Amino acid sequence: MKKKISIKTPETLQTPQGRKYLAVILVFLLGIFITIAIKQNDQPELLTSAREGELVLILDDLTKQKDLLEDELIKQNQVLESLKNGSNEDARKAAQDRIDQLILLSGTAPVSGRGIQVLVTGDLYSVNSFTILDTVQELRDAGAVAIEINGVRVINSTYFNDTNSGISINLTPIRSPYKILALGDPETLATALKIPGGMSESITTSGGQVVINQYPSLEIQASVPLTTPQYAVPVNEK
């Protein structure tokens, strides 16, 4: 039997001042996301040496990111207006939605939903740590909200290394075949891995194999345990 975690909404969100703080935090986080997206694509020196096909892919990726950011801006503005004019229930719902997003990003709980399963086979020449890292990045760019590889949950702090027998994820050794589960829109995720010059083509041309299956429901059971901060400590409110 799985243990359910009950999360209570902080009392500070039940006051107008608390809703104001939450609105400021949401706008601040959105600003950070936009800044990161701009910095990641602010590399003109790479564009000068790119081929026409690569430029088309870069432009397409930038267009998708722009559309996603515009959609996110609209959503956050709607949340902001809701918090300004709404009730305590609106504030609690916004807080719970944010908690759910943090659970996905931190990987601290099992999740389920629509997604794809990618089965990758190959030797160290066709599949290495860089290949897996590129696959993770392509999935995230396509909107994957949760990823698991051979029973290991992948989060923002996850790192990959090559070993004599395969690959290690956060020092956990895994070997071919590599079973990758990703939650998100199945068609979008599958298409992202099949673009010319992408992950699938790179592996198959090197002698490996890639099989992608789409599912209306997938479960990612692996999770990352909560850790105690080494340096940061909570601030005691008076």
* 135: confidence class by pLDDT, cuts 50, 70, 90: very high
Is the pLDDT assigned to residue 35 strictly greater than 80? no
Residue 4 inside a domain? The answer is: no
Residue 44 inside a domain? The answer is: yes
User: Helix 52-85 to helix 16-40 angle, to the nearest 10 degrees?
Assistant: 170
pLDDT by residue (tens digit) across 168-184?
998 899 999 999 999 99
Give the pLDDT of residue 216: 94
Most confident of 48-52, 67-71, 76-80: 67-71
pLDDT by residue (tens digit) across 204-219?
999 999 999 999 999 9
In the chain, the number of structural domains is 2
Out of 90, 106, 122, a domain closes at: 106
Report d(CA 226, CA 29) in Å as an integer: 22
CA quadruple 36, 37, 43, 44: dihedral sign = negative
Same domain? 162 vs 124: yes
Whether the full predicted model's pTM is greater than 0.75, yes or no, is no
Query: What does the chain come to in residues?
Result: 238
* Rounded percentage of the chain residues whose pLDDT exceeds 70: 64
* 11: confidence class by pLDDT, cuts 50, 70, 90: very low
Out of 106, 132, 148, a domain closes at: 106
Report d(CA 235, CA 119) in Å as an integer: 46
Same domain? 32 vs 51: yes
Is the pLDDT assigned to residue 120 strictly greater than 90? yes
Give the pLDDT of residue 121: 95
* 13: confidence class by pLDDT, cuts 50, 70, 90: very low
Give the pLDDT of residue 31: 62
Same domain? 148 vs 215: yes
* 187: confidence class by pLDDT, cuts 50, 70, 90: very high
CATH number of the CATH domain containing 216: 3.30.70.1880
- Mean pLDDT, all residues of the chain: 77
Same domain? 50 vs 126: no
Give the pLDDT of residue 32: 61
Same domain? 87 vs 148: no
Domain that residue 156 falls in: 111-220
Residue 6 inside a domain? The answer is: no
71-80, 206-215, 217-226, 229-238: lowest mean pLDDT where?
229-238
Out of 106, 140, 166, a domain closes at: 106
Give the pLDDT of residue 223: 82
Report d(CA 145, CA 107) in Å as an integer: 10
3-state secondary structure the chain: CCCCCCCCCCHHHHCHHHHHHHHHHHHHHHHHHHHHHHHHCCCHHHHCCCCHHHHHHHHHHHHHHHHHHHHHHHHHHHHHHHHHHCCHHHHHHHHHHHHHHHHHHHCCCCEEEEEEEEEEECCCCCCCHHHHHHHHHHHHHCCCCEEEECCEEECCCCCEEECCCCEEECCEEECCCEEEEEECCHHHHHHHHCCCCCHHHHHHHCCCEEEEEEEEEEEECCCCCCCCCCCCCCCCCC
